Amino acid sequence: MKYSSATSRQSIHASEGALIELRSLSKSYITPAGRTPALRGVNLSISPGEFAVVRGKSGAGKSTLVNMIVGIDRPDQGEIWVAGVAVHQLSEDELARWRGKNLGVVFQFFQLLPSIDLVQNVMMPMEFLGLYTPKERRQRALNLLEHVGLGGHTHKRPAEISGGQQQRVAIARALANDPPILVADEPTGNLDSRTSNEILDLFSFLNTQGKTLLIVTHDKNVAARASREIEIADGQIISSGSIDASPRAVSTNLNASLSMTRGNQL
């Protein structure tokens, strides 16, 4: 189930089994200093149910890689296939709808909409996609918030809750349209270690529920929980082996932390 990024010919034929597949992906940016390559011919394939982390130093190209997969940024060359869709060929609006349905995106700075409350933040993706009835959306958003341990805060605004809680809401929002894949860029980058752990527990739990996870981080703790670690340096994948951690081991942990959080609210 793992493919070496070095053997590109192999990956072309292996697309049936892969959920995410990158082929000879290249991207460079024009900066005042000149042309800076961010990705140099990356090949990668991720199977359903994987918990993959992408690691590397600042500027190594890991954010660019993730942006390509979620269709936020476009490659100069190469192909991106996600769940059988040629992402690199979609128009901006097709991308928006496709992303809304198939990918949950979690950002480093949570990126909740500040003016509306938590339920509405979670309802937003459902509204944009026109999924569910208005009543169902609300119920579903409430359930998701309950699920991430914020059932008691539904009518607060993002600024009224802590960073860790905001990230939970962001995860709930990412789950709104029930996408098969969750992608997160430094989801714990702005959190203290205890809160980071809670968030990671949540990710691990989601993985056990069948979500495919792709997390960009330079946090070693995150990598420790992943089923696979992909390391990137200077725009190239230097290792994409697996770590055989047992994701299931943390699920009880998660339940404990969720109930603890809830306990705090009551």
**Interface with another protein (CB under 8 A):** 31-34, 36, 58-59, 67, 70-73, 92-93, 95-97, 99-101, 105, 107, 109, 111, 113-117, 119-121, 123-125, 127-129, 134-135, 138, 156, 159-162, 165, 173-174, 176-177, 188-193, 195-196, 219
Q: What's the min distance (Å) between Cβ of 138 and another protein?
A: 5
Q: What's the min distance (Å) between Cβ of 110 and another protein?
A: 9
User: 43 and 65 in contact (C-beta within 8 Å)?
Assistant: no
Q: Give 12 or 72: the residue with its C-beta nearer to another protein.
A: 72
Q: Give 3 or 60: the residue with its C-beta nearer to another protein.
A: 60
Q: Give 45 or 198: the residue with its C-beta nearer to another protein.
A: 198
| Cα angle value 172/174/180 (rounded, 5°) | 115
Q: What's the min distance (Å) between Cβ of 59 and another protein?
A: 6
Q: What's the min distance (Å) between Cβ of 51 and another protein?
A: 21
Q: Give 125 or 247: the residue with its C-beta nearer to another protein.
A: 125
DSSP labels, the chain: ----TT-HHHHHHTTTT-SEEEEEEEEEEEETTEEEEEEEEEEEEE-TT-EEEEE--TTSSHHHHHHHHTTSS--SEEEEEETTEEGGG--HHHHHHHHHHHEEEE-TT----TTS-HHHHHHHHHHHHT-S-HHHHHHHHHHHHHHTT-GGGTTS-GGGS-HHHHHHHHHHHHTTT--SEEEEESTTTTS-HHHHHHHHHHHHHHHHTT-EEEEEES-HHHHHH-SEEEEEETTEEEE--B----GGGGHHHHHHHHHHHHHHH-
Q: Give 32 or 244: the residue with its C-beta nearer to another protein.
A: 32
Q: Give 16 or 263: the residue with its C-beta nearer to another protein.
A: 263
Q: What's the min distance (Å) between Cβ of 4 and another protein?
A: 27
Q: What's the min distance (Å) between Cβ of 163 and another protein?
A: 8
